Chains A and B, each alone.
Chain A
Amino acid sequence: MSEIETLVKELADKHGRKRESLIPILQGVVEKERYLSDEAMTEIARELDIAAAQVYGTATFYSFLDTVPRGKYVIRVCKTISCSMKNGNEVIKAISDILKIQVGETTPDKKFTLLEANCLGWCHKGPAMLINDTPYTELTPQKVREIIAEYNRK
């Protein structure tokens, strides 16, 4: 069995093989692989015995279920109004400068992806961002530099 086959089988054993199991399985693959490859989606369709188009249709609806390769650490910076009023743009620009990538891109070493997101639920402590699941708030260009340096050491 290929690596992805094993992963999908494990996830299906854990979450079941019903239609309702689909999103938890997709989330499980993204957690492990950072994105859903065609191979992964076809494998999930086979495992759940549904059409691959249904898997693809569901996956592409959700912004966290990426269908293009992402870095090990996905950075999502809030661009909604309360954060943008607190100079959220500067934070995005700082990250972009540090990592030398534009929003939507991944570093060549596949370590970081920079994305924008809508309101993350930290508006009173903006600007805010998530790195994978972890929230960071009250960001400044300086703070962002330190956080990324920390991830770089990991």
Chain B
Amino acid sequence: MANNKPLKKVDLIFSEAFLNRDELKEVLSRSADEVIQELLDSGLRGRGGAGFPTGLKWKFTRDQKDPEKYVVCNADEGEPGTFKDREILDRVGRKVFNGMALCAGTIGAKEGYMYLRGEYRFLLPKLYQILDEFHEDMKALGIDFHIDIKLGSGAYVCGEESALFESMEGDRGEPRNKPPYPTEYGFRGKPTVINNVETFVSALIISRIGAAEYQKLGTVDSRGSKLFSVSGDTPIPGIYELELGMTVEQFVNEFGDGDTKAVQVGGAAGFCVPRKKFNDTIIGFEGVPTGGSMMLFNSSRSMYNVLHNYLDFFKEESCGQCTPCRVGCQQLFLGIEAVKRGEKPASYLDTLLKLSQTMKITAKCGLGQSVGNSFHSIVNNFREEMIY
């Protein structure tokens, strides 16, 4: 595999283009069919983690007969190791609102909401100012679309789309059963497009530069570029827009400190890739997917501590609604502690692995279902570190 190429850096998301009223007018002059086709052709998949094709999501929602529909921007950004949405909102917030307007025009929505995590409340004055300009422009263009911001209050699970709707409706952020999906039954039970902050910006960019241009970046399964939040043992932590389709090896060559032993791709809910697999693991939907969180660990780090930290996170953030996750997160946490202290034999790790597998199948939402990702990939690759 030709994987020693340097990474391709891209500058689409933060560029100054597509920010003003004329741009908005141009984008909004296109027919819904055109917009959807362009998105489908571009291959854009959601940037929040799950990676559902954005064009399809918009199409399904447009096809719903209900005249009352919503556009919701997921700015809850709670995944450990992710901070790129904050930077987008801080630097090019207007692009997010323009992207939401594009979506509203396409699906036929008159109201949009941004769900902003409480930890980012300091951004509110700036965002309201941008929204004022945005609303003025919408008025000048004669378009009936209004955006409001709802604030979260410190709960990771509220980033899960149906929990987010529950929270916006004034309830505990407990995920709903799916199906029905938000395209059919979303905010206030109405057809809703919910996308990540970055997805709205990418959709806007695609409708300006065209699917053909966007397609030139990335691979068949992972088109385009996306933002990566890089932290941990790296000399250059920060936010980088990179072409998709690189291997972990290429990534580590660029960002590692020369002693990288593992990379956690996709946050606590993601996968741990050990050094021996850097070479043949692609970062993207064909390999390890990520909403952008990339945490590097060098050989001075105990992977037991890393897993312990993640499980501590999950047991606190589990909404407690379903048993596999509520009890499972606790037991995994207590279980690795017991093995470490020698109170349980090493073979107990296999029992815990089975438990995390059961959680994947039986938990109600993505939180409980994905605890096993990091659990499996860390325990299987660093088993000795769990025991000694």
Select which of A23, A61, A134 is within 8 A of B122 by beta carbon: A134
Compute how far the CA of A27 lies from the CA of B79 in the bound complex, rounded to whole angstroms.
Answer: 23
Q: Does B229 contact A124, Cβ atoms closer than 8 Å?
A: yes
Q: Does B169 contact A20, Cβ atoms closer than 8 Å?
A: yes
B316 contacts A by Cβ under 8 Å:
yes
Within 8 A of B (CB), among A109-154: 117-126, 130, 133-135
In the complex, what residues of A have CB within 8 A of residue B232's CB? 81-82, 85, 123
Q: Does B169 contact A63, Cβ atoms closer than 8 Å?
A: no
Select which of A18, A24, A63, A124 is within 8 A of B155 by beta carbon: A63
Compute how far the CA of A135 lies from the CA of B169 in the bound complex, rounded to whole angstroms.
Answer: 28
In the complex, what residues of A have CB within 8 A of residue B171's CB? 19, 58
B198 contacts A by Cβ under 8 Å:
no
- Which B residues contact A (CB, under 8 angstroms)? 77-83, 85-86, 117-122, 150-156, 167-174, 229-233, 237-239, 268, 295, 297, 301, 306, 309-310, 312-313, 316-317, 319
Best-buried of A21, A79, A119 by chain B (most CB within 10 Å): A119
Compute how far the CA of A117 lies from the CA of B117 in the bound complex, rounded to whole angstroms.
Answer: 13
Q: Does A133 contact B233, Cβ atoms closer than 8 Å?
A: no
Q: Does B231 contact A123, Cβ atoms closer than 8 Å?
A: yes
Q: Does B170 contact A58, Cβ atoms closer than 8 Å?
A: yes
A80-B122 in contact given A20-B168, A64-B153, A118-B156 (Cβ < 8 Å): no
Best-buried of B119, B173, B174, B268 by chain A (most CB within 10 Å): B119
Given contact pairs A84-B309, A117-B119, enumerate 20 new A-B contacts (beta carbons under 8 Å). Answer: A20-B169, A27-B153, A58-B170, A61-B155, A61-B173, A61-B319, A62-B154, A62-B155, A62-B173, A63-B154, A80-B81, A81-B268, A81-B295, A82-B232, A119-B80, A119-B313, A121-B83, A121-B120, A123-B229, A135-B119
Q: Does A58 contact B172, Cβ atoms closer than 8 Å?
A: yes
Q: How large is the interface on A (under 10, 10 to 19, 20 to 34, 35 or more residues)?
A: 35 or more
Closest to A25 in B: B170
Q: Does A118 contact B122, Cβ atoms closer than 8 Å?
A: no
In the complex, what residues of A have CB within 8 A of residue B82's CB? 119, 121, 123
Q: Does A21 contact B170, Cβ atoms closer than 8 Å?
A: yes
A77 contacts B by Cβ under 8 Å:
no
Compute how far the CA of A117 lies from the CA of B155 in the bound complex, rounded to whole angstroms.
Answer: 10
Compute how far the CA of A119 lies from the CA of B82 in the bound complex, rounded to whole angstroms.
Answer: 8
Select which of B119, B172, B316, B317 is within 8 A of A121 by beta carbon: B119
Compute how far the CA of A136 lies from the CA of B232 in the bound complex, rounded to whole angstroms.
Answer: 18
| Minimum C-beta distance from B229 to chain A (A) | 7
In the complex, what residues of A have CB within 8 A of residue B229's CB? 123-124
A23-B153 in contact given A118-B313, A133-B122, A135-B122 (Cβ < 8 Å): yes
A22 contacts B by Cβ under 8 Å:
yes
Closest to B173 in A: A61
In the complex, 15 of the A-B residue pairs with CB atoms within 8 angstroms, ordered by the A residue number, are A23-B153, A62-B152, A62-B155, A62-B173, A79-B312, A81-B232, A81-B295, A84-B309, A119-B82, A119-B313, A121-B82, A123-B81, A124-B231, A126-B231, A133-B121
Q: Does B154 contact A82, Cβ atoms closer than 8 Å?
A: no
> Do most interface residues of chain B lie in helix, strand or loop, or is the interface mixed?
mixed
Closest to B81 in A: A123
In the complex, what residues of B have CB within 8 A of residue A65's CB? 153-154
In the complex, what residues of A have CB within 8 A of residue B297's CB? 85
In the complex, what residues of A have CB within 8 A of residue B120's CB? 121
| Minimum C-beta distance from B281 to chain A (A) | 20
Select which of A26, A62, A84, A124 is within 8 A of B83 by beta carbon: A124
Compute how far the CA of A80 lies from the CA of B264 in the bound complex, rounded to whole angstroms.
Answer: 14
A36-47 vs B: 1/0 string, CB under 8 Å? 000000000000
Compute how far the CA of A75 lies from the CA of B347 in the bound complex, rounded to whole angstroms.
Answer: 41
Compute how far the CA of A108 lies from the CA of B78 in the bound complex, rounded to whole angstroms.
Answer: 32
| Minimum C-beta distance from B140 to chain A (A) | 28
Compute how far the CA of A62 lies from the CA of B268 in the bound complex, rounded to whole angstroms.
Answer: 20
Compute how far the CA of A23 lies from the CA of B115 in the bound complex, rounded to whole angstroms.
Answer: 12
| Minimum C-beta distance from A141 to chain B (A) | 21
Compute how far the CA of A85 lies from the CA of B169 in the bound complex, rounded to whole angstroms.
Answer: 37
Closest to B174 in A: A61
| Minimum C-beta distance from B262 to chain A (A) | 12
Q: Does A63 contact B153, Cβ atoms closer than 8 Å?
A: yes
| Minimum C-beta distance from B112 to chain A (A) | 15
Best-buried of A19, A121, A135 by chain B (most CB within 10 Å): A121
Q: Does A64 contact B301, Cβ atoms closer than 8 Å?
A: no
Compute how far the CA of A80 lies from the CA of B156 in the bound complex, rounded to whole angstroms.
Answer: 13
Compute how far the CA of A57 lies from the CA of B268 in the bound complex, rounded to whole angstroms.
Answer: 27
A48-86 vs B: 1/0 string, CB under 8 Å? 000000000110011111000000000000011110110
